[in-house]
Structure 1
Amino acid sequence: MPSTPNTSMPSVMIAIDPHKRSWTAAAVDARLQPLATIRVPVSRDGYRTLLRFARRWPDTAWAIEGASGLGAPLTVRLRQDGFTVLDVQAKLAARVRLLSTGHGRKSDEADAVSVGVAAHTSSSLTTAEIDSATTALRALVEHRDDLVKTRTQTINRLHTVLTHLIPGGASRDLNADRAAALLRTVRPRDTAGKTLRALAADLISELRGLDRRIDKAVHDIEMAVKACGTTLTELHGIGALMAAKIVSRVGSIHRFNSPAAFASYTGTAPIEVSSGDVVRHRLSRAGDRQLNYCLHVMAITQIRRDTQGRTYYLRKRANGKSHSEAMRCLKRRLSDTVYRQLLNDANTTT
């Protein structure tokens, strides 16, 4: 386990491993030792039991793994009652568990202890801030992502069925209209062929329904982005969907005291791997991967257009950096740009 506690933290961390139906809490002291654990149901009584559990120690703070995800309901209640909540990323807690004496063995209690150790030892944690608008926006984005995932699965199943009906199957860019046109050319006479054709027709109908629901979800996201007043869409490479993902996952930009802290959260702060006289940096696998993906899309879009991002990227390549190294530099620069835009939005509304 890491052995350097953060001395600015309270003496005991009440760390939570949240699930849909239960919260597992561990009290971890400044020596990184677990004092006690408890598991309660996700309910009003469970919340009260957690508060009584925390009152056993006079100097405490709360830390939740995924405070804006599965831990959001508990985070909201704690924030409403005036408690400060630290947001511990799942990867950070997993790294602590892997380095522990338990050799990565997983249980709810061990996960909660790992969250507590991570909260004590990490200097880059942010305070969880959740408001209703951000929660609603994140729900819309996740709903759209789930629909897209289901659509992909349906397309894959349709490809498999059409392979049995049409020699060579269908092309990769399959959609409902193309599939329907292909199906009209098939008139099987045997039982298996008729069954497969009926199944393909059902999948096409399901695909059309998913397309309509995805279009509605995209429209709802666009309306929500306009309503929240963000100016992220003014940046080249960020559309309504990317803006929604960034706003919903970042929450309050005031949680980050500098562009460097924000870059660490987005996973765009490079990690030095120098040796001797050779100074190099590698990609950071830490941080929020969804935010990192948004910045990656933004970087790719800017490189393909006549933008300042493309000019910066080409300058890095001319200085001898590889494509990957130049991309990492550009994403770090774009992280600062997004940070300033979010900060300006927040200061304008206040």
Structure 2
Amino acid sequence: MITIGIDPHKSSHTAVAVNAAGHQLAQRRFVVNAGTVRQLMRWCEKWPERRFAVEGAKGLGRSLAQQLAAAGEHVVDVPSTLSARARLLATGGDRKTDAADALHVAQVALFRRDLRTVEPEDQSTILRLLTERHDDLVNERTRIINRLHAVLRDLLPGGAPTRLSAEKAAALMKGLRPTTATDCCRRDLARELLADLRRIDRQVGDNEAQMRDAWPPPTPR
């Protein structure tokens, strides 16, 4: 079994292949572009019995690790703390190069049995992303409503009702007749906030529809 350690960066990935004893067989640097994974797979075709070790597969190496896992490759995640420790323990470990880092990533994977296997992202990942987006939208909607409340409080006797919606705000604003330049400015701000509220309501609705479509159907009994 050949282990291929990868030190990922934004602009390039450096790969080093080692044998079962941890001795380096080959190394190569890949420029990050649309064909990076294809080039990497072509380079390691000579080792059909292989696995990949990617440093920081939850961080900077996530995209590469996921593409490899989706292609059916065996991929493990090597935390940067472990590869850094291996570098410091090695002879001349204070010299940091991409190739040396990739070698240490491969060697950590070779001798550690507790590394996390990278699984391809699935429907649960999509739902998590959509849920996080929903939380952001709801928080933004709350901020807009709070700001609209503050502006209407200075334009309407008693302000706006607690449970304010875009429809209720629009109805209240129809009767506004500002008499000063300051109140005219407040009215214009209220109109802009109302437009923002309507936009965010549409986005929340679209997001919720996406979540319903992404939710897996119930398993038939």
Query: TM-score, with normalisation over the residues of structure 1?
Result: 0.43
Is contact 2:137–2:204 with CA below 8 Å preserved after alignment? no
Is contact 2:83–2:108 with CA below 8 Å preserved after alignment? no
Is contact 1:63–1:116 with CA below 8 Å preserved after alignment? yes
Q: Which has the higher helix share?
A: 1
The counterpart of 2:113, out of the listed 112, 119, 123, is 123
Q: C-alpha displacement at 1:34, in angstroms? A: 11
| More contact order relative to length (CA 8 Å, sep ≥ 6) | 2
Task: Write the distance in 1 (CA, Å) between the matches of 2:15 and 2:27.
Answer: 6
Q: How big is the alpha-carbon RMSD for the aligned residues of Structure 1 and Structure 2?
A: 4.7
Q: C-alpha displacement at 1:62, in angstroms? A: 1.3
| Structure 2 counterpart of 1:155 | 142
| 1:230 to 1:159, Cα distance in 2 relative to 1, 3 A | farther
Task: Write the distance in 2 (CA, Å) between the matches of 1:154 and 1:111.
Answer: 45
Which residue identity is paired with 2:133?
D
Q: C-alpha displacement at 1:185, in angstroms? A: 4.2
The counterpart of 2:75, out of the listed 73, 86, 94, is 86
Task: Write the distance in 2 (CA, Å) between the matches of 1:198 and 1:41.
Answer: 46
| 1:121 to 1:161, Cα distance in 2 relative to 1, 3 A | farther
| 1:95 to 1:166, Cα distance in 2 relative to 1, 3 A | farther
Note the alpha carbon deviations across 1:262-292, whole angstroms, 9 max, x for none: xxxxxxxxxxxxxxxxxxxxxxxxxxxxxxx
Where structure 2 has 5 or more consecutive residues not aligned to the other structure, the ranges are: none
SS of residue matched to 1:27: strand
Which residue identity is paired with 1:15?
I
Note the alpha carbon deviations across 1:168-225, whole angstroms, 9 max, x for none: 9999xx8762x65356545373342123112211121023212312331332244x14
The counterpart of 1:54, out of the listed 38, 44, 58, is 44
Task: Write the distance in 2 (CA, Å) between the matches of 1:196 and 1:165.
Answer: 10
Is contact 1:86–1:125 with CA below 8 Å preserved after alignment? no
The counterpart of 2:5, out of the listed 14, 21, 35, is 14
1:214 aligns with 2:207: yes
Is contact 2:51–2:74 with CA below 8 Å preserved after alignment? yes
SS of residue matched to 1:219: helix
| Structure 2 counterpart of 1:95 | 81
Note the alpha carbon deviations across 1:216-250, whole angstroms, 9 max, x for none: 1332244x142xx399xxxxxxxxxxxxxxxxxxx
- Total equivalences in the alignment: 200
Q: Give aligned-pair identity as a percent.
A: 16
Range moving further from structure 2, 201-210 or 111-120: 111-120
Is contact 1:61–1:85 with CA below 8 Å preserved after alignment? yes
Range moving further from structure 2, 50-59 or 194-203: 50-59
Task: Write the distance in 2 (CA, Å) between the matches of 1:156 and 1:216.
Answer: 23
Where structure 1 has 5 or more consecutive residues not aligned to the other structure, the ranges are: 1-9, 232-350
Task: Write the distance in 1 (CA, Å) between the matches of 2:106 and 2:217.
Answer: 35
Larger Rg: 2
